[in-house]
C-alpha cells in the first residue's frame, strides 16, 4: 500500500486559469494521462476546464454543492454523491450562490473502463487500483489516515472511518 499525506500534494492552476487544483496522484503512459486524482474549490459560477478524451467523476466533499450544466449535461453535484461526465463537453458550475464547495475529481483516459466511486464500509474486495481518500480520521488496511490523506493499493482492504473509495481499471 502506498500512502500519500495531505501536506505533500502539489497545487497547480486550472487548465482554464480560473482556479487552483490540488493534485493528489496521477499516472501517465507515453506522456498521455491515464488517470488523475485531485481536489478543487468551486467558489463561483463559471466554466470548468475542457479535457479532450477524458472521462470525469466529481464528488463534492465540503460545502453545499452546485449544478453542472452544458450540452446534454445537467447534474446536481451534492455532497458525497459522485457524478460522472465527459471531460470534452464544455460545462459550467451554476447555483453556487457565492458559497464555496470543495470537490474530489477523478479523471481517466476515455479508452479505460470508467472508474467506480463510493463510500465504503468494512471490507473492500481487490480489483483494479483502489484509492481511499480520507474524509476524516480513518484506517485502511490497518494504516492510519488523517483528513485528506490518500491510500493506493491493488489488494483488498478493510476500511474504518469515512473514506471516499475509487476503483480505477488501468
Predicted confidence (pLDDT) at residue 16 exceeds the cutoff of 80 = no
pLDDT tens string 81-136: 999 999 999 999 999 998 999 999 999 999 999 999 999 999 999 999 999 999 99
Residue 13: what pLDDT?
A: 85
Nearest 5°: phi and psi at 6?
A: -55, -35
What pTM, to 2 d.p., does this model score?
A: 0.95
Name every residue whose Cβ is closer than 8 Å to that of residue 27 and which is 6 or more positions away in sequence: 33, 34, 35, 36, 170
Query: For cell 495531505, what's the residue?
Result: 6
What is the rounded distance in angstroms from the CA atom of residue 79 to the CA atom of residue 71?
Answer: 23
Per the prediction, the chain carries an average pLDDT of 96
Predicted confidence (pLDDT) at residue 168 exceeds the cutoff of 80 = yes
Which domains are delineated in the chain? 8-109 (2.60.120.10), 116-168 (no CATH)
pLDDT tens string 32-84: 999 999 999 999 999 999 999 999 999 999 999 999 999 999 999 999 999 99
CA 14-84-6 angle, 5° bins: 50
Amino acid at each position: 500500500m502506498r500512502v500519500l499525506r495531505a501536506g505533500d500534494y502539489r497545487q497547480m492552476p486550472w487548465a482554464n486559469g480560473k482556479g487552483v487544483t490540488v493534485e493528489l496522484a496521477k499516472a501517465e503512459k507515453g506522456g498521455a494521462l491515464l488517470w488523475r486524482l485531485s481536489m478543487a474549490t468551486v467558489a463561483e459560477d463559471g466554466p470548468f476546464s475542457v479535457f479532450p478524451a477524458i472521462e470525469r467523476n466529481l464528488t463534492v466533499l465540503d460545502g453545499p454543492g452546485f449544478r453542472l450544466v452544458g450540452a446534454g449535461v445537467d447534474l446536481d453535484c451534492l455532497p458525497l454523491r459522485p457524478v460522472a461526465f465527459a471531460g470534452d463537453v464544455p460545462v459550467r458550475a451554476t447555483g453556487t450562490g457565492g458559497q464555496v464547495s470543495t470537490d474530489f475529481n477523478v479523471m481517466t483516459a476515455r479508452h479505460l473502463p470508467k472508474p467506480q466511486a463510493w463510500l465504503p464500509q468494512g471490507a473492500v474486495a481487490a480489483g483494479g487500483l483502489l484509492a481511499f481518500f480520507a474524509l476524516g480520521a480513518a484506517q485502511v488496511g490497518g494504516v492510519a489516515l488523517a483528513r485528506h490523506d490518500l491510500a493506493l493499493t491493488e489488494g483488498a482492504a478493510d476500511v474504518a472511518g469515512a473514506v471516499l473509495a475509487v476503483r480505477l481499471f488501468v
